[in-house]
Amino acid sequence: MMKPAGNPASDPRARMLELADGQGVSLATLSELIGRNPSYLQQYIRKGSPRKLDEGDRATLARFFGVAESELGAPEDNSSDSNRPAKRGDWVEIPRLPLDDSAGPGSLGGGALGVEERAFDAFRFSTRWLREQGLEAAMLSAIAVAGDSMEPLLRDGDEILVDRTPRPLREGIHVLRLGDARLVKRVQQGKPGRLTLISENPHYPPMDVGLDEVDVIGRVVWKGGRL
């Protein structure tokens, strides 16, 4: 990437670009991470628009890189050492999004994960574990499951990690949008141009849908919940 003029130690734009280059992550991916359009951070760095980052965006990026918010333009007194995550080389924080994906009949509303919703919290994962799983932190989001159709595999209130990395669709548990409903289901290839959406709970019958009827948001790659 071409670097903007300025000293990274004092210029938050130059520092962000330095961090992105160091981690090998694109500005478009980082823009998606904070729920913005793909060109948002490119314009911020190259054109100075916006003049400064939104506080929530800045906090999310600082957590991702494992740096103090002051390095990305926050006043020093707004960037307490006690709130700093562990070193980026050891841990990374995955945003928790404030929405429930239905494991029942369906839940209404919302856009794709990480695009319109803003993180309210985060889970911290080992970067080594993510690397071993072949997962890229910037493409992950954590959400809560609502409903009982995926029991006993996924229970109401379980947290799931969703990988939004574009890949050829294969069988597995996915978060998807069907009309106005956002669901978590086991996806199987059906007849040509069709998918079968399967619930683990036998009280919910399978659904046969066309590929053009659904938007597959991401694959569920991890779950966590109370015993």
Question: Quick count: other Cβ atoms within 10 Å of Cβ 127?
Answer: 18
The one-character DSSP state at 187 is: E
Same domain, 220 and 137: yes
Same domain, 32 and 100: no
The one-character DSSP state at 70 is: G
> What is this structure's pTM?
0.59
Same domain, 113 and 170: yes
Same domain, 70 and 135: no
Which residues form the domain of 181? 91-224
The per-residue pLDDT for 180 is 83
CA dihedral defined by 180, 181, 186, 187, rounded to 10 degrees?
A: -10
Identity of the amino acid at 143: I
The per-residue pLDDT for 1 is 40
The per-residue pLDDT for 99 is 63
Which of 44, 74, 104 is the last residue in one of the domains? 74
Same domain, 159 and 220: yes
The per-residue pLDDT for 220 is 95
Quote the strand ranges of 113-206, DSSP E: 121-126, 140-146, 159-163, 172-178, 181-189, 194-198
Q: Is residue 114 part of a domain?
A: yes
CATH code (residue 115) = 2.10.109.10
Residue matched to tokens 């995955």: 94
The per-residue pLDDT for 117 is 58
The per-residue pLDDT for 128 is 85
Low-confidence ranges of the chain (pLDDT < 70): 1-10, 76-89, 99-117
Is residue 175 within 8 A of residue 196, CB to CB? The reply is no
Same domain, 141 and 60: no
Q: Is residue 83 part of a domain?
A: no
The per-residue pLDDT for 100 is 56
Q: Report how far residue 70's alpha carbon sits from residue 58's, in angstroms, rounded to the nearest whole number.
A: 9
Same domain, 48 and 99: no
CATH code (residue 33) = 1.10.260.40
Q: Report how far residue 152's alpha carbon sits from residue 134's, in angstroms, rounded to the nearest whole number.
A: 26
